[in-house]
Homo-oligomer: A and B are copies of this chain.
Amino acid sequence: MISLTAAQEPSVYGQGMQSRSPASRTGRPRSATADAAILAATREALVDLGWSKLTLGDVATRAGVAKTTLYRRWAGKNELVVDAVAELFDELELPDRGSLAADIEGVVLQFATILALPEAKSGLMAVVAEATRDDALRERIRASVVDRQKRLVLEGRARAQARGELPPEPDPESASRTVDLIFDMVAGAVVHRTLVSAEPADEEWVRSFTRVLLLGLASR
């Protein structure tokens, strides 16, 4: 994550996937410390100010860097916030609790915990809203946030099929659609519960949700 070296040439905006090019360019390298400080400052500003009142100038001051440094690394507010929020999802993992139900409950609870953070709440939804009009931004979100979640669904699904808890799907086409459906149901429900209903997705709720989801998937 995070660049500091860059994509190809001098290093266009953002990080995306830095190739860690062996031909380390000449010149003064970008400060990795500054990157960390900027992203941390962005999350801090999200908590204090929220999305709409967050300004890049303020973030620069909090991070102790010049405003121009921000503009050299990120194209704008959207990209910066995506990267700042994406780091929150780094620790997301799939625990092996022995049963599909327990595994799902664990993951959903992790997701809910992250989403309960004010910096995730105000930041993530705002960039998703912006992404409706910006394909590059949506792709950035997909790569750094969504895919990481989706991988957990795939792993959990494979594990459950190995256990015999879910029927194996022969048709890869329909299997892919099923994964997409599950993913939208899980992530969507947690997001809606947390942001729109503004109620905590606590253990009790997660248990109820998991039960409905699994019963619906199993009985086919």
Interface, chain A (partner B; CB < 8 A) = 50-52, 77, 118, 121-126, 128-133, 138, 141, 146, 177-178, 180-181, 183-185, 187-193, 195-199, 205, 208-209, 211-217, 219-220
Contacts and interface: CB of A to CB of B under 8 A. Distances in A.
Given A129-B125, A188-B188, A181 B209 contact: yes
B212 A177 contact: no
Contacts of A220: 211, 215
A196 B189 contact: no
Quick one: which of A141, A180, A192, A211 has the most chain B CB within 10 A?
A: A192
B195 A185 contact: no
Nearest to A47: B133
A126 B52 CA distance: 9
Contacts of A192: 183-185, 187-188, 191
A51 B125 CA distance: 12
Copies in the complex: 2
A35 to B, nearest CB: 24
A184 B197 contact: yes
A34 B190 CA distance: 39
B138 A198 contact: yes
B215 A51 contact: no
Contacts of A178: 208
A101 to B, nearest CB: 12
A198 B195 CA distance: 19
A131 B125 CA distance: 10
Given A121-B132, A122-B129, A205 B188 contact: no
B187 A196 contact: yes
Contacts of A128: 125, 129, 195-196
B219 A215 contact: yes
A133 B190 CA distance: 18
A96 B179 CA distance: 31
Contact of A181 (B118, B130, B208): B208
A217 B208 CA distance: 10
